[in-house]
Structure formats: structure tokens, C-alpha cells
Structure 1
Amino acid sequence: MSDLLYLYGLIPANEAKEEPLPSIKGFDGEGELYTIDTGDVTAIVCSIDSETHSEEDLKDKIENDMEWLQEKAFHHHETVLMVSKMYTIVPLKFCTLYKSEDSLKDTVEGNRNKLLNTFSKLKGNEEWNLKIFCNDKELREEVSSSNPAIEEKRKEISELPKGRQFFEKKKIDQLIDQELENEKNRICEEVHEKLKEKAIEGSVKKNWGKDVTGRKENMAWNSVFLIAEDKVDQFTDEVNRYKEQLGKSGWSFEASGPWPPYHFSSFS
């Protein structure tokens, strides 16, 4: 049986010629990464033994061997991250495999124009992530004491007969919860739109749960931005301004990057 090709990413051929790929261990920890030239697009790959790493075997490990999965996913991430610091890269997802060099070249050829346009969009730009966390308890207290809608409801209840006040006050908690969510969305959307002014593109992603983040606070917002290299300092300065402005109200902001541009290179 022939080897499988494990594809990490695609880069412009001219960049590959200007800076040769350094020695990097591949997926199996034995062989090394190498390049396949397909004209103006160069593929970064490694070979893996199809007998010991059949598609069925890989699928089984991904589904049932968490230790193996974590090790290999970490290898993929670190390898693509390293390569992204050297070249303009269209990164591929974990375990993207091809049965032959011809099959890989056919795929590249069928997407050549799309790839070249993506290279042009990504060159000189970086992907950055912003995660916003909120201490709901702290913000809830602030909303409870300063929100106009809640103050109006309290005033309305105070003018009711004593018997009705007891039952109506229970609705205050529901209103506070509702206004808390409104306030969180308002602030996050304001921050996102302000940061998009510093970026070429920006999009919102699904929030992570506490089991993933390992934090006590809830994640209130998760977004990614494509930013020109010379605008990154402006972006991070703006994030730091929000940290200072809102940190005492239960908010925290985590900007990280640059990352391989997974969210802005639509090649699969």
C-alpha cells in the first residue's frame, strides 16, 4: 500500500522559493514535512504509512482515543502556527488526507483561482481573536441599581396596595435577568463594532462553556478579526482601553493572536 499525504496547508509558490521549509517532524513523529509544487501554489505535507494509519484506524482513534487525539491535534495546531509565521498560508483542518499526489494536485487545480484570491486577501494580514467574559453577579448588581426600566418598575410597585406588592416584587428578578442580558449584548456589540473599524473583516463565533474555558465567569462574546499587520497595535490598544474602562464592572477581555487564518480562508 502507498503512503497517504497529510496536508497541513497551502502557500504561494513564490514564498516557498524565497524561504525553504525548515526541518519539522511530521504527523508520525518520524518523517519530516516537505513541499509539493503545483505551479503557483505549494502544498506543505508529510507522508504517513497507510498500513499503520488507515482511514478506518484514524477515524477510530479520533472517536475513541482522547490522549492520542489531543497529542495529534496539538501537533497539527503547533505545526500550522509555526508555518503561518513564515508564509501566507491557507491552513487545512486536522487530518486532511490525500491518497496520492495527483489527487492533491487535482484539488488544488480545481480551486486555483479561489486560492490565489485568498492568498491576496491574507497577505500582510493577521487573524486575531477576542473573547469577552462577564461576572454576571457583579454586573447584575450594577444593572439592578442603575437601570431605568427597573427603577420605573420599582416605582410602579411602590404605588400598589401592599397585598399586590409582594407578588409583583417577584417579577423584579425576572426583569433584572432580562435587562442583564440586554446590557451584556449591548456592550459586546458595541465593542465588536468598534474593533471592526480597526479590522478588514470581523465575525462572531459561538461562545465556549465554562467546561472549555476553565473560568468562573461566563463567556459573553467570541469573535475573530482579520487585521492588517500595521493596525494590530491600534486593535490591541482599543482592547486595553475597554479593559480599563469596564474592568471594574465585572468585564474582562482577552485578545490573542496572530493565529493561522482558519476563519478567513474558505478552503476545505
Structure 2
Amino acid sequence: MVNELTYVYCISDSPLPVHSISDQKDLECLKFGTFYGYVKKVSPDEFSEENLNKNFNNLPWIERHARNHIRIIGEIMKSSIVIPFKFGTVFNSEESLGNFIQKYTSSLNENLKNIKGKEEWSVKIYCNYTVLNEEIMELSEDVRNLEQEISKSKPGKSFLLKRKKVELIEKEVAKVVQLSGQICYEEVKRFSELTQVNSLLSAEHSDRKDSMILNISCFVNQVSVTEFIDAIGELQKKYKKIGFDISTAGPWPPFSFTSIKEK
């Protein structure tokens, strides 16, 4: 096809038989010096800069192609160390990709060295505020003391104290959320080479009714992955009763811990 563009999934330091990647007949592995680029040819009708910007407003198109992008990189990761490229990274030709690789050779080598033997895992913590509010009496001495004072007060004072109790519960819940999030963060850091705190996802984007309070990417040494996962499991057991849900997923392509920069 005339004027095809070169779409890039990732760069690695080792080749992989592309026929081993399921449902991806158009995937190619191209050699550029000591690097291997995993690419496919795409049409400008979809992936030119102008048309790609239009397609970014097409949610079904984005979901289909972005999921496939992550899936392909994930399969390559099973056998190779990879530097993942963001979804929608397109070069005008194989030659322009080769020029890019030549220009950033030093940075690519540094990235490959840094990610060798490590995996990116996500940790997300959610809070069910309804459950936490129900448990706050047991968790907060101040709330318990105020409740006792209310029970001993006359109606007029009791009414005012109940209003104060609502404000106190809100304050104490926020305190528990902040403290619990910090404790969990410090725990996962113990098993991580690096961490990155990410933006919180809204309920609309997380498809959950509870609220996300912490969203972390963790760079974990492969020898520590089992301990890391076990630690998440222990945190889940500890905090589930009071309304927290702590989960981890991975390994993911190391988007959070790779950065190609000119020296």
C-alpha cells in the first residue's frame, strides 16, 4: 500500500518470532542495530496525525485499538525486555523510526538496563464511605466520647451536640482515609524499587461505586514480586472490615518507569 505509516508498539534488545503473538498477523519485528522494533504498517486513513486526532474522539475506536496495543506489548514482554511506546505512536517510515532509534541510542540502552529484572504493578485503594462511617465509632475515641456526652445531655444540648457529631464524623473519616492510605503506601514502597503516585480515577472511569483514594504504580524487582503480592493481600485483610478494598494488577508494560530523552 502506498504511503503506509509505521506504527510502533515497543522496542526491545531481543527478537521474537512474531507468529507467536496471537491474532496479530501484521506484526513485524525490525532490526535497527542492536535494537528490535515491534511494528505494523497502518493506513494514513486512520493513523495520519489529522485522522488520529479525529479518532481519539471515537471512544469505541480508542478502546478497541488501545486494548490491542497493551495486549501485544504484554505478549512480547513474556519473552523480552521492552520499552513500550504510547498508544498511537506513528512514524512516517521505517527509515524515520531508524533515525529516531539512532538519535536516542544512549537513552534506549539506559532504559533497557534500568528495567531489566523489574516489573510494573498497579496498586489501587478504594473506600466504601458508607461502611467506614458505620465503623467510625469503633475507630475514633473522640466520636465515642461525644456520643456518651449526647446520651447524658438534655434535649436542647443534645440537638447541638448531634450536629457537632456529624461534623466530627466527617473529620474523623477523612483522617482515617488519609492515615490508612499513607500506611498502605509506605508498605508497598518497602517492596518497590520505585513508585509513582497517579491521578485518582472517578467512579465513571473506574466502573465502581466506591471511591478511589490511592492509585500507585510500583516498580518491583522480579525476586520480590511474591512478597509484594502477599503484602497487598495482608493489607486487604486488615482494612476490608472498615470499608477499604486494596488490589494489585500486573505486570504491566513499564510506561511509568521509562523515559526516552536526548543526552
* TM-score (norm: length of structure 1): 0.86
1:82 positional shift? 1.0
State how far apart, in whole Å, the 1-side matches of 2:55 and 2:201 are.
25
Pair 1:56 & 2:50 matched: yes
Structure 1 residue runs of 5 or longer lacking an equivalent are none
1:256 positional shift? 1.0
Contact 1:33 1:45 in 2 (8 A): yes
1:91 positional shift? 0.6
1:156 positional shift? 7.0
Which residue identity does 1:37 align to in structure 2?
K
State how far apart, in whole Å, the 2-side matches of 1:61 and 1:206 are.
24
Cα pair distance change 1:178/1:267, threshold 3 Å: farther
Pair 1:198 & 2:195 matched: no
Pair 1:208 & 2:208 matched: no
Partner of 1:9: 10
Question: What do the CA deviations read for 1:104-123 (whole angstroms, capped 9, x no partner)?
Answer: 12222232222111111111
- Find the residue that maps to 1:22 and give its secondary structure: helix
Contact 2:217 2:256 in 1 (8 A): yes
Structure 2 residue runs of 5 or longer lacking an equivalent are none
Contact 2:146 2:161 in 1 (8 A): no
Partner of 1:70: 63
Identity of aligned residues (%): 26
Q: What RMSD over aligned residues (CA atoms) do the two structures have, in Å?
A: 2.5
Which residue identity does 1:10 align to in structure 2?
I
Partner of 2:240: 247
Cα pair distance change 1:161/1:193, threshold 3 Å: same
1:90 positional shift? 0.8
1:197 positional shift? 0.8
Pair 1:46 & 2:43 matched: no
Alignment of 1:91-106 (within 5 A): 91-106=84-99
Pair 1:22 & 2:26 matched: no
1:23 positional shift? 5.0
Which residue identity does 1:35 align to in structure 2?
C
* TM-score (norm: length of structure 2): 0.88
State how far apart, in whole Å, the 1-side matches of 2:33 and 2:48 are.
29
- Find the residue that maps to 1:77 and give its secondary structure: helix
1:193 positional shift? 0.8
Contact 2:74 2:253 in 1 (8 A): yes
State how far apart, in whole Å, the 2-side matches of 1:58 and 1:3 are.
14
Partner of 1:142: 135
Partner of 1:180: 173
Which residue identity does 1:176 align to in structure 2?
I
1:214 positional shift? 2.1
State how far apart, in whole Å, the 2-side matches of 1:79 and 1:53 are.
18
1:67 positional shift? 2.0
Say which is worse superposed, 191-200 or 151-160, in terms of deviation.
151-160
Question: What do the CA deviations read for 1:75-96 (whole angstroms, capped 9, x no partner)?
Answer: 1111111112121111111110
Contact 1:207 1:220 in 2 (8 A): yes
Match of 1:218 among 201, 211, 215: 211
State how far apart, in whole Å, the 1-side matches of 2:110 and 2:211 are.
38
